[in-house]
Amino acid sequence: GAVVSQHPSRVICKSGTSVKIECRSLDFQATTMFWYRQFPKQSLMLMATSNEGSKATYEQGVEKDKFLINHASLTLSTLTVTSAHPEDSSFYICSAALRLGGGTDTQYFGPGTRLTVL
């Protein structure tokens, strides 16, 4: 159980184009999903918190207009990198929060999307 999928797993695009990444919780409903960015040999950096039916909460320094997040249902969140540039090349990872007993969530992660902008 608690499987999260992410699509695509790898994408190469030209500078200036937009790329959409999908994150789905396959066997549970996730009120909250998170989007992270990870640079090589570094830890995960939280970009935004996405709640179903409401606007995403972005971390300081993350451009809202550049990284558009939509959480249309309890099982799907999308991240769109608009007008991508080479510096946006990175590994993007989503997670879906499974609410269990005890007043906290456990985040289950998708397999990640490797974005390369030429």
Partner 1 sequence: AQKVTQAQTEISVVEKEDVTLDCVYETRDTTYYLFWYKQPPSGELVFLIRRNSFDEQNEISGRYSWNFQKSTSSFNFTITASQVVDSAVYFCALSPRRGWETSGSRLTFGEGTQLTVNP
User: What residues line the site for partner 1 (CB under 8 A)?
Assistant: 2, 30-34, 41-44, 46, 49, 51, 57, 91, 93, 95, 97, 99, 102-112, 114
> Which residues, 6+ apart, have CB-to-CB distance to 116 below 8 Å?
10, 11, 12, 13, 89
C-beta of 32: minimal distance to partner 1 in Å? 3
Q: How far is the CB of 98 from partner 1 (least distance, A)?
A: 9
Q: Minimal distance in Å, beta carbon 52 to partner 1?
A: 10
Q: Is 42 exposed, middle or buried (0-12, 13-18, 19+ CB in 10 A)?
A: exposed
Tokens 């790329």 locate to 19
Q: Which is nearer to partner 1, 46 or 62 (CB)?
A: 46
